Amino acid sequence: KSFEGFKTRILSKITALTVIQYINKFIFDRNINNIKISII
């Protein structure tokens, strides 16, 4: 529960969201904010 772990968790969440938005926009040509219908 250190600050380093906190920073890592926040960074990984931001990275995952950005990757999902990129895939939605450029590969599937969907709305960029459709996080729920991502790759499942």
Q: Which of 12, 30, 13, 11 is nearest to 21 (CA)?
A: 30
Indicate if the pLDDT at residue 10 is higher than 90.
yes
- CA pair distance 29, 35, nearest whole angstrom: 13
pLDDT given at position 23: 78
Look up the domain containing 13 and give its range: 3-37
Number of independent structural domains in the chain? 1
Percentage with pLDDT > 70 across the chain:
72
26: confidence class by pLDDT, cuts 50, 70, 90:
confident
**Region 26-39: what's the mean pLDDT?**
66
pLDDT given at position 39: 55
Q: Which of 34, 15, 36, 12 is nearest to 25 (CA)?
A: 34
pTM of the model: 0.59
Mean per-residue pLDDT over the chain, rounded: 78
